[in-house]
Copies of this chain bind each other. A is one copy, B any other.
Amino acid sequence: MEKRASARQRDTTGYLGRMVSETAEGNGKRSEAGAVRYQKLAADMRRAIEAGKFGNDGRLPSEESLAEQYGVSRGTVRNALALLRANGLVTSRRGTRRVILGTARTQSFHELLSFTNWARSLGEEPSARTIHARVRAATAVEGERLQLDPGNDITEVLRLRFLGRVPVMLERTVYPVRVGEVIETLAPDSLSHTGALDASGVVFADSEHTIDIVAADETDARLLGCAEGAGLLREVRRATDPTGTPLLWSEDRFLPGTVSFTVHNSATVSSLARRRAPR
Contacts and interface: CB of A to CB of B under 8 A. Distances in A.
Interface of A: 1, 4-7, 9-11, 13-24, 30, 35-36, 38-39, 58, 79, 82-83, 86-88, 91-93, 96, 99-101, 105-109, 111-112, 118, 122, 124, 178, 181, 198-215, 230-233, 240, 242-244, 256-279
A248 B16 CA distance: 25
9 contacts: A20-B268, A106-B272, A109-B267, A112-B265, A205-B266, A206-B267, A210-B261, A210-B262, A210-B263
A265 B7 contact: no
B99 A211 contact: no
A271 B7 CA distance: 29
User: How many copies of this chain sit in the oligomeric assembly?
Assistant: 2
Given A9-B201, A269-B20, A259 B275 contact: yes
A58 to B, nearest CB: 8
Given A19-B18, A20-B16, A91 B266 contact: no
A277 B259 contact: yes
A205 B13 contact: yes
